[in-house]
Every structure is written in C-alpha cells, then in structure tokens.
A and B are shown apart, each in its own frame.
Chain A
Amino acid sequence: MKRAIVLGMMAMLGLVMAQGRTVNLLWSGAVTGPTSDVGGPYGAGIEDYCKYANEQKLIPNVTLNCTVRDDQYQNPNTQRIFEEALDRAKPAMYLGYSTGAMLQLKPLINEVKMPTIPASAHIGLIDPPNNQYMFLPVSSYSEQVVALMEYINRINKNAKIALVVNPSPFGRAVVDHARRAAQRLGQSIVDVREVGGGNLDNTALLRALDAAGVQYIIHQNVAGPVANILKDAKRLGLDKKIKQMGAVYTGGADLIRLAGDAAEGFLWASSYYTLDENAPGINLQKQLAAKYNRSADILNSTNYTAGMLAAAIAVETMKRAAQRFSGRIDNETVYQALIGMNGPNAFKPGFAVSTKAGIEIDFTRTEQTGAEGLRVLEAKGGKFVPVTDPFTSALFRQVRNP
C-alpha cells in the first residue's frame, strides 16, 4: 500500500514537472513619453522574442511570462513597476531601460540581488557602488564615443571635436571619458553642447561650432535631435566641412528615416548587425517581425534588435540556470548562470558582432559588458555599412579608471 502511495505521488510529481511551470521576466521602459522612439521598438523586440521562446520551448518545461510595461520615462513609475513585480511575481531577471531610473534603482537592485540588463549603456551602471547585479548587453556609451575618437585619430591627427549630448545623465555619461581620451590622443574637445528634442533650428549651434574650427561632431543622443542637426548642417552647407558621428542610439534606420539624404556620411558606433547582413539573429528578427505583424519601422529599427538581444540573453541565462541548478530558475541561479557565460560558454545569438577572439556575448563577475566588440558604420546610399572590422577600444580601458 505504502509503495503504491509513493509511486502515485511520484507519478503526480512527474506529471506536474512535465506540465512545466512559469518563470517571470520583467521589462519596463518608455513605450510612450520621452525617448519612446527607442523604447517602443525595444519593448516590441522583447515581447516578440519571448513569444518565440515559448513557442520553441527554448527553456524546457518552462513557460516564460514576459511582462512588458510602459513607465512613460517616469522614474517613480519604474520604481513602482519594479517593486510591484517583486511583490506579486518575483521575476528571475529584470530588463530595465532608462539611465536615470536605472541609476536610481541600483541600490534596490543590489539589495534584492536581481540580475538586471538595462537598455541604457551608461558606464555608471556597472561602476561601484551597488553594481554587482547590473549587466550591459553591449559596450557602454563611453566606449562607443572613445572608439569613434580613435577612429578619427586614424584619419586625422590632432582633430578638433565638439560633443553634442542629450541634456540628461544619459547624454552627459560620455563627456568625462571623451575629455580624457582626447588628452591622450592629442585631440581637442572644443565645445560640449547639450541638445534635446525640439531642436527645430540648429543654425546658431552649427555656426558657432564652425567658427570655433570644429572638424568633427560626436553625438550622444537619440536619433531625433541628431537628424535635425544633420538636416540643418546640409542646409547651411556644413555637411562636407564638419563630419558628424554618434553612439548607438543616434544612428540606424531611424536616423536615415528622419534625416533622409542629410544622413549620408554619418558615422555610427554600434555593436549590432544591420538588417542587410546575414547573421542568425538578424534573420530571426526578420522572421519574427513578419510573424507578429510588426511594421517596417519597427523591423528596421536597431532598437528592435537591441530588445531581442536583451531578451535572448535573459532566455539563454534562464535555460542555463535550469540545466545547472536542477530546474531551479530564480534570481540567484540566473545570476550564477550569467556570470558563468564566458569562455567556451559564451553566448552567440547573432545579433551583435564578435570580438577578434570570436566572442559575441560574455559576462563574468567583474566584466559586466556583454558584446564588447563594436564597429564604425557609415551611412551610404540610405543604409549603414561597416567601415571597420569589429574592435574593442583599448584606450577606453585606460581612461575608464585612470
């Protein structure tokens, strides 16, 4: 009789196990409000990859419950959404968004030990204190800007550069590192200007930079303000005189759509493959966009790729956590799986370029940047084409903590 009861219980347990369980993944970001041109496609990328992961059963016996919520770029909303999730359905991982909200949530994220992958690549997120559970999916904004400066140095020594940044912690993140890099490269940062959305006429800005002898403008912004500056530069005939370039959120198809032919020649530092390249992640992106009826604007957006990459890292980490810890998927096991994602265990979903060592995404306890390789791309004939091979900025590592 006892044996029958035990066997019955085991059968029940097996049945329950076979039916699987639910693991939660949370993203909150600006689907509406400021920077929603980035947040909308980013959230769509996460949503679609989660559907795909469930359909393909990428995590055996587990249903992924992806919650995508709009925080309207309001930090109190982000905090509330995150704490709500901790109360009601503790997520195994948190995919965050804006620089300000993520910096503000750092102490709480560290306290609750929640592995977090933000959309923001602000270096302060992975700098101490409270940085243990923060992981950037791609190289930081600062590294992207320093890489652009290194690129300038290859073609023009002692260049005169102006930084045009978003008037927020997101924009200002790069300024100090750029100044230090300029010092080492013998370049001069002539001016640092802050330009946000609504910059409908940039004549004064461009004339002032031209008068100061600026040869290069490096942008740290979203595509909208950059597009307006590019159009004004073309109108003023300064597009040939001053070369413009920017970090990851400035470029891509969004910039070409907004700036039109004024985007020609714009240089863009990005870790992501473009839609014209034949990479497994990009092919998947095209397939999923078609399957889930996404508009052409979303499909073409690099932010859609970025959202998918963040979700892909989360799903892969959960899968590895389940394999390593006998099916246990929670914040602790996911953290362990994430910091073990390196060397032969590095992840290669095909959304971002690989470093020379052939590594696309890797993390360790102390190296909290995923895709460390990046390329400089140039807008030519209405699309971005790479003008460098993937590289990592050696100089950035020197100026990060001088």
Chain B
Amino acid sequence: MRNPWAQTGNYRTSYVQDTTIFANYREIVSVVLLLLALCILPMFLERSQVLVLNFILIYAIAVLGLNITTGYAGLISVGQAAFMGVGAYTVALSAPNLPFWLTIPLGGLTAAILGFMVGIPSLRVKHLYLALATLAFQEIFVWVVGRSPALAQGAAIPVEMRNFLGLEIGFRNHNYFWYYVILFVLVLMVIAWRNLLRGKYGRALIAVRDNDRAADAMGMDPGRTKLFAFALGAFYGGIAGGLLAYMQRAVVVEEFTLTRSVALLAMAIVGGLGTVVGSLLGPAFIEFLRLYMERLSEWMKANPFVQSITPAGVDVASALLPLSFGLVIVLFLVFEPRGLYNWWRLLRSYFRTWPFKY
C-alpha cells in the first residue's frame, strides 16, 4: 500500500473512497491547520479588522448557497440578498423571544420555504428568464419590506444580544464573539455542503444542470431537484442574513438590495462557481479589493501631485472602486472563468507534485 502521507495524487479504487469528504490525510491536516489558524487569527487583529473578517465569512455562507443554486444546479439566481433579508428579518422578529441558536436556523428555514416558492418558475423557464424571475423576487422583497409597518418599512429593527451563557457581550467583544459563532456556522455549512454534494442529491444537481432531459431519462426528478436546489441555496442565504442581523445589531432593508445580490454573484464568479474554496476566496478577494481601492482612492485624493496631473483628480479617485469592481469581473470572465479556485488548484498541484512538473 502507498504511504498515505506521501501520495502525490488521488488513487481511488472503490466507490466508498470516491465519496469521502477528504481525499487524503494531507487534506485533513491542512483543513485542521487552517481552522486552527482561523481560531487564533482574531488575537492578532483589531476589532474593526475582525469586523471585516466577519463580513467575509457571512458572505462566504451566502455564496456557498448561491453555489448550490447557480454553481451546481446551474439555476441563475439574482435574489440571494433577498433570501439573506428573509433570514435577517425572521431573526429580527423572533430575537426578542428566542435564543440566537434557534432564531438563526429559523431564519434559514423561512428563507428555504420562500426559496422553494421562488424556485417554482424554474420548472418552466430557464437561463435568463429564470434570472428575471429571481430578480422579480428580489424587487418584490424590497417592495414588501418597504411597505410593511411590522418591518419598520425598511428602517432599522434592533437585534441585540447582550448575554450568552453568562458571558456579557458588548462593544469590546461583540465582533470577536460573533466571529467565532460565524466561523462555527460556516464550518458546519461547509461540511453539510460537501456531504450533500458527494451523495446522490449532489450528483442529481450536476446531472440536471448538464442536461435535465438526460437526468430525467435516468430516473431523476429534475423538477424536484431544482426546487431542492433553490430551497437549499435560500437556506444558506437565510442563515447568512440571520448572522448579519446579529453582527450589525440591527436590520435595515438597504443591506438586502439588488446591489448586494449582484455583489454575491460576483463573489461566486470570481471565486469559482461550484466550489467550496471559491466560496471562501471570492468574498475575501472582493472585500479586500474594496478595502485597498478605498485606501488608494483616499491616498489619491490627499496627494497634491496626483491631483495636479489629473484635472478632475477627485473624480478619478472616486471612480476607482466601481471601475476596479467591474474590471475584475470582466477579466475573470474572459481570462479565468474558473475563478480563483483554479489558481488555488494549480498552486496545490504544484506543491503536491514538487519537484516534478506533473
């Protein structure tokens, strides 16, 4: 038998091996090390830097869901932010009476039910037409919230949690506390994601995406599979929204508009559709891009030399962020449609086969 620590490829000889969550021991060790690193990371960061991490992890959960609907099942959805909103508002309404470990799954479930309903058009329409159906849901969500006095017409509904098992949660530890909660939820969601997609449901999603008629001929139920994909993707979105509500201490509808849905789709594309690693890399890349462009734009505005060589210096600096955001998406679509995941795959492959080229 080969030494499992020294293997340079996946040598699967049985179906059971083919469906394992981790391909080899090295993968287990690297995941454990990554988790350990993520656990100690906040000790070296300021509160506001942890806040940035929290946003990235929350978006990663939402993008994981989008990767089920769009990445795996091939159903274009531009309504993921609305599903996040459903989760967030469910949390906001139930938080005064229920603990957070119940309100967040409840938010996910409510979003899943709505996701199921939104998925119904997918039984009859595909591609751009389906995208329009999800767009309609996104707009209807914002419209309904804006006109519901029970939801403060889109203004803030406070979501505060001051205490957990005797631990007082306040300004000093709020971001740290939620960082660990979000990380824990993310790990659970990733495991569930991997677990689901290695089984028959996952294969059904891929089969329906690639050719729903062929999948139907092979005994799968494309309709049910599509509804399942929508409901599950929405569940992830709802969980992400619930966490966001607690993390931001209040729910405001402006967080769950079409712009956010498009940003989530961009994160999924940049990260690499249909991959766990891509779901983590995409949000991180977009958020850091935003941060660095913000810094660059501030530097440009403060720099007299830059201002002197650009007559409308302030406008050039201000345009940097939207410009870079659009440019990144276009460049990825043209030159690396498989996203950052593919770079990660190549990098990993390089080290695995080192010193050999292949």
Chain A residues with CB under 8 Å of chain B are 31-32, 69-70, 72, 75-77, 79-80, 83-84, 86-88, 99-101, 103-108, 111-112, 122, 124, 129-130, 167-169, 172-173, 194
Contact = CB atoms under 8 A, between A and B. Distances in A.
Nearest to A130: B158
A31 B318 contact: yes
A89 to B, nearest CB: 12
B146 A167 contact: yes
B282 to A, nearest CB: 16
B252 A83 contact: no
Interface string B147-190: 00000111110101000000000110001000000000000000
Contacts of A88: 46, 48
A168 B156 CA distance: 11
A105 B171 CA distance: 12
A83 B252 CA distance: 18
A103 B156 contact: yes
Q: Provide the main secondary structure of the chain B interface.
A: helix
Contact of B318 (A70, A130, A169): A70
A172 B55 contact: no
B109 to A, nearest CB: 25
B248 interface: yes
A106 B250 contact: yes
A31 B160 CA distance: 30
A110 to B, nearest CB: 10
A263 B47 CA distance: 48
28 contacts: A32-B318, A32-B321, A32-B322, A70-B297, A75-B252, A76-B55, A76-B248, A76-B255, A77-B290, A80-B51, A83-B48, A87-B48, A88-B48, A99-B155, A100-B154, A103-B155, A104-B249, A104-B252, A108-B249, A124-B155, A129-B158, A167-B142, A168-B154, A169-B152, A169-B156, A169-B252, A172-B153, A173-B155
Interface string B228-270: 0000000000000000000011101111000000000000000
B319 to A, nearest CB: 8
Nearest to B158: A107
A111 B252 contact: no
Contact of B48 (A86, A103, A194): A86
Nearest to A107: B249
Contact of A107 (B250, B255, B318): B250
B155 A100 contact: yes
B155 A75 contact: no
Most interface-central of B47, B156, B294 (chain A CB within 10 A): B156
Contacts of B319: 32
A175 to B, nearest CB: 8
B252 A100 contact: yes
Interface string B115-158: 00000000000000000000000000010001000001111101
Given A70-B294, A103-B155, A79 B252 contact: no
Nearest to B55: A76
A87 to B, nearest CB: 5
A140 B155 CA distance: 16
Given A77-B290, A79-B248, 5 more contacts: A70-B294, A75-B248, A76-B55, A100-B254, A169-B154
B52 interface: yes
Those 9 A-B pairs whose CB atoms lie nearest each other, nearest first: A103-B156, A169-B155, A83-B48, A84-B48, A100-B254, A32-B318, A104-B250, A100-B252, A107-B249
Contact of A69 (B55, B252, B298): B298
A32 B154 CA distance: 22
A172 B250 contact: no
B13 to A, nearest CB: 48
A69 B318 CA distance: 11
B292 to A, nearest CB: 14
A75 B48 contact: no
Contacts of B294: 70, 77
Contacts of A69: 298
Contacts of B155: 99-100, 103, 122, 124, 169, 172-173
B318 A75 contact: no
Contacts of B47: 83, 86-87
A172 B154 contact: yes
A104 B156 contact: yes
A233 B232 CA distance: 48
A312 to B, nearest CB: 23
A155 B297 CA distance: 51
Contact of B171 (A70, A111, A124): A111
Nearest to A103: B156
A108 B249 CA distance: 8
Interface string B314-327: 00001101100000
Given A69-B298, A172-B146, A107 B160 contact: yes
Nearest to A172: B153
Contacts of B321: 32, 72
B210 to A, nearest CB: 36
